[in-house]
A and B are shown apart, each in its own frame.
Chain A
Amino acid sequence: MENLTEVLQLFLAAENFLAIAVGVIVGVTVGSIPGLTATMAVALALPFTFSMEPVAAILLLVGIYKGGMYGGSITAILIRTPGSPASACTLLDGYPLAQQGEAKKALKMALYSSVIADFISNIALIFFAAYLAKIALNFGAPEFFWLICFSLTIIISLASGSMIKGLIAALLGILFSLVGLDSVFGSQRLTFGNYNLMDSISFIPLLIGLFAIPEIIEFYRKKVVPHLRAKASGAGVSLGELKRSLKSIVRGSLIGVCIGAIPGTGATAAAFISYSDAKRRSPNRERFGKGEVEGVAASEAGNNGVAGATMIPLLSLGIPGDVITAIILGAFMVHGLTPGPLLFQENLPLIYALFLGIMLSSLILLVVGNAAIRYFSLIADIPKSILFPIVLMFCVYGAYAVNNDTFDVWLMLGFGLLGYVFNRTGIPAAPFLIGFILGPMFEDNLRRSLLIGSNDLSIFVRGPITWFFIALTVGSILLALYRFVSSRHKAKREVSEPGSGV
């Protein structure tokens, strides 16, 4: 009862409601503008949370995340340009519907399925996070060491594109995370005597640099492309259509939950799996790809079902599953909180206040999403030539605000250039960020294990939990090798039989 009062006290603050509403509005707005991603918006919003209460700060970022997931589908449907990679699947049926004058129907279905999936995902988060955290209380340093090994390998093995490039990105991330004073001996590591680097590389300039600056550089390096105008016309979705798609929505949500709970898999895979599952089961399967509203529902359910579930490993184990949860982990740290099993023991009211806020965000998404459909053309018609200078301003102000030092602005630009080089060479930025976050955890748990075991390496195989994670780590490496070999075979086949893949 005492806990309940404390939870309600934490949750019912007006600041929280405002944070969720603002977060969802910003997320939908940014997500619906091609070229601006929810990741970029979450990264840019992080400096604004410095003076906020922890619950409001996290809810603001979660709101942006959820709004961004839905927002990405708006441009996918209206102008065949997904606002985020996860919305790519939505355009398969959404855009044909828009061309047939049924844009509003597609947008409404995308919204309703997003909200339902989000709600189911939140329920899964509430049930599984606490359960997993309870199990994780039995983990010691060697178990966490192997869990981090597994997280690193699974993220790399499931990353899109070249596995070698994913590994290189993760290694560079780990290397940059080691800059600063050594946590055990206090000796300087790659600081070059610069006092700004002694407290390690600031997370926020790195984040902003890596995810916002490359887009800006690329925009000004590219030839100007004409600005596309969008219009949401036609009738909305009927109750019958929603009922007909409900099974696909629930199945898609559950697919999203399962995929989201595994670090590294991401919303794009969930959307495509959910879509193909709905297509396989639907009596109208021949209409899929030509403007089937159930297709929009399935892909959006898969895509949004991931949102709450990615928070499960973050909150219960302290392991970020993707880039946005990595940023949210950063927000926890900025506010002196460390997600993981201990947070459930020491700060349970805060966790439950967050859960309530996350549930509320689904409801707010419904209201904001409806308004976005109506007033969308106003948002989408802002050209990038006006948006990007403003985004750059937020980048610079946000980076500077971390320590009130232009060194962080330099750092942000440095990582911006690195991100641009990554884009040009096809090296993914996500494993870099995950490596940057997991690197110190990896080293810390390795050293703690050695200290606990008095330098005896057998501590790393001390029980069933360590063996379980060793098996998962080996499995994910084998999966990565399988993907590598099969992609090589596929490439060879395409070379020997040109045109066969089309």
Chain B
Amino acid sequence: MTGPQSSGGSPIKDAWDVIAGAMLLAFSLVLLFYLIPEHIGVPPVMQNPMMSPRWLPTIVGWLLLAFSLLLIAQGFLTADSDDSGRRFERGPWLRFALMGLALVVYVGLFELLGAILSGILATLLLFIAHPVRTWWVYSLAIAFPLGVSLLFTEVMNVPLPTLPF
């Protein structure tokens, strides 16, 4: 199983709710007292405060603050009766790390290598991560990026940087 769970003697019934509530509480405070005043400009003259660009974000901020407190309270008072989808058995860390590396390849090398080469590299990493044990499946790591890139660029006329040159 993964993730924080309530122990028998703990006053916390659902640790995930408390953690999520605390994070949201911190976020709503940052939003209300830093992000909105510093990063939302207001015009010098305004007839109605409800017309202000800050009005809705402020309302949302205060509501988020209130509901994050309620979520924390919920975490202390009740356990989630339907958390089966939230719990699972963790796989090996290398599998997850290789998936992360594949994402880095896509984000970091997409424009540098082009869609086909970065696609091949990332797909190979993901096949190794699982690991896929049928050798011929690895040929799909070349066929699919090639095919999908051509589908985007040639059939659907959606531009992509297919190759680095």
Q: Which residues of A contact B (CB under 8 A)?
A: 47-48, 50-52, 161-162, 164-165, 167-168, 171-172, 174-175, 178, 182, 184-185, 187-192, 216-218, 220-224, 385-386, 388-390, 392-394, 396-397, 400-401, 404, 406, 409-410, 413, 421, 423-427, 439, 442-443, 446-447, 450-451, 455, 488, 491, 494
Chain A residues within an 8 Å CB radius of B50: 446-447, 450
> From residue A409, how far is it (CB to closest CB) to chain B in Å?
5
Interface positions of B from 5 to 28, Cβ below 8 Å from A: 16-17, 19-20, 24
The count of residues in chain B whose C-beta lies closer than 8 Å to any C-beta of chain A is 74
Assess the A222–B48 pair: CB atoms within 8 A.
no
> From residue B94, how far is it (CB to closest CB) to chain A in Å?
10
Q: How far is the CA of A450 from the CA of B47 in the complex (A)?
A: 10
A396 is contacted by which of B88, B106, B156, B157 (Cβ under 8 Å)?
A: B106
Chain A residues within an 8 Å CB radius of B102: 389, 392
Assess the B126–A388 pair: CB atoms within 8 A.
yes
B53 is contacted by which of A189, A389, A394, A446 (Cβ under 8 Å)?
A: A189
Q: How far is the CA of A423 from the CA of B88 in the complex (A)?
A: 12
Given contacts A390-B148, A393-B145, contact A187 B129 (CB under 8 A): no
> From residue A57, how far is it (CB to closest CB) to chain B in Å?
11
Assess the A187–B152 pair: CB atoms within 8 A.
no
Given contacts A168-B68, A406-B110, A427-B20, contact A48 B88 (CB under 8 A): no
Chain A residues within an 8 Å CB radius of B163: none
> From residue B161, how far is it (CB to closest CB) to chain A in Å?
8
Given contacts A162-B80, A182-B53, A189-B57, contact A217 B99 (CB under 8 A): yes
| Chain A residue at minimum C-beta to C-beta distance from B61 | A175
Q: How far is the CA of A442 from the CA of B59 in the complex (A)?
A: 13
Q: How far is the CA of A143 from the CA of B56 in the complex (A)?
A: 19
Chain B residues within an 8 Å CB radius of A426: 16-17, 80, 82-83, 85-86
Chain B residues within an 8 Å CB radius of A455: 47-48, 51
| 20 further contact pairs, Cβ within 8 A, besides A389-B123, A397-B148 | A175-B31, A184-B53, A217-B99, A224-B130, A385-B127, A386-B127, A389-B126, A389-B144, A393-B119, A393-B144, A397-B119, A400-B110, A404-B159, A406-B110, A421-B20, A423-B85, A425-B86, A426-B86, A443-B56, A450-B51
A164 is contacted by which of B39, B71, B123 (Cβ under 8 Å)?
A: B71
Assess the B90–A222 pair: CB atoms within 8 A.
yes
Assess the B57–A175 pair: CB atoms within 8 A.
yes
Q: How far is the CA of A494 from the CA of B81 in the complex (A)?
A: 9
Assess the A223–B110 pair: CB atoms within 8 A.
no
Chain A to chain B contacts (Cβ below 8 Å), 15 pairs: A47-B158, A51-B156, A52-B156, A162-B80, A171-B64, A185-B41, A221-B96, A392-B106, A393-B122, A401-B152, A409-B107, A424-B16, A443-B56, A447-B50, A488-B78
Chain A residues within an 8 Å CB radius of B149: 397
Chain B residues within an 8 Å CB radius of A187: 40-43, 53
Given contacts A224-B130, A386-B137, contact A400 B160 (CB under 8 A): yes
